[in-house]
Chain A
Amino acid sequence: DQQVKQNSPSLSVQEGRISILNCDYTNSMFDYFLWYKKYPAEGPTFLISISSIKDKNEDGRFTVFLNKSAKHLSLHIVPSQPGDSAVYFCAASVNNAGNMLTFGGGTRLMVKP
């Protein structure tokens, strides 16, 4: 059973509008959450993260929101740009020695000019 789920396989938005990517998790032990961005034929690259002690973290056009009671996090991209078109993965970890990441299935974002 997947502990981290991204229920929308794809999302299409217009350039300049907001993109909202969602992620749900089931394991209440997760205490650190990350978003990765992946272009074709490249490895995932780190985008933004949030600790469970916070409910929001912002970095430029990217903001991650965490709702622990709902076990839900979201990534907001404002404004969206065509270069943001990629697959986005959310990931979660328990703060132990291994820091293994559990990934969601990914959401393909397409930003139309």
Chain B
Amino acid sequence: NAGVTQTPKFQVLKTGQSMTLQCAQDMNHNSMYWYRQDPGMGLRLIYYSASEGTTDKGEVPNGYNVSRLNKREFSLRLESAAPSQTSVYFCASRRTVENIQYFGAGTRLSVL
């Protein structure tokens, strides 16, 4: 049972390049989330998907897009990367009946 799997683990981009961060969960959870973690700021919610077919903005959505491909997969896309998007990105999922979110190991992204 892998839980929440994120790929890639590391990525270096040049300013203006695009990329997609992948996230998949095998726990049959309805809700999925994307966060970014910056020093001293904790984790901030970028986008979330309460259920398959729906997505909503979180606290810091600018510069990002998401796709809930199916119940298992929730991807995060950077269309034109900027140095301010250098961060560690975490994906999480949650079962509807409880308030606990389960996190992947993260993707460390550097934008030069």
A residues apposed to B, CB below 8 Å: 2, 4, 6, 9, 32, 34, 36, 41-46, 49, 89, 91, 93, 95, 97-106
User: 5 extra interchain contacts, Cβ-Cβ under 8 A, other than A41-B105, A46-B102, A99-B101?
Assistant: A36-B103, A43-B103, A44-B43, A103-B44, A105-B42
Closest 9 CB pairs of A and B: A43-B103, A103-B42, A103-B43, A105-B42, A44-B103, A43-B105, A32-B99, A46-B100, A105-B40
Instruction: Kindly state whether residue B78 has any CB partner on chain A within 8 Å.
Output: no
B residues apposed to A, CB below 8 Å: 4, 31, 33, 35, 40-45, 48, 50, 56, 58-59, 90, 92, 94, 99-106
Is the Cβ of A100 less than 8 Å from the Cβ of B99? no
Q: How far is the CA of A101 from the CA of B40 in the complex (A)?
A: 17
Interchain nearest-CB distance for A21 vs B (Å)? 13
Is the Cβ of A89 less than 8 Å from the Cβ of B42? yes
Given contacts A32-B99, A45-B103, A46-B100, contact A100 B58 (CB under 8 A): yes
Q: How far is the CA of A102 from the CA of B42 in the complex (A)?
A: 9
Sample (5) of A-B pairs whose CB atoms are under 8 Å apart? A98-B31, A98-B56, A99-B99, A99-B101, A103-B35
Interchain nearest-CB distance for A76 vs B (Å)? 20
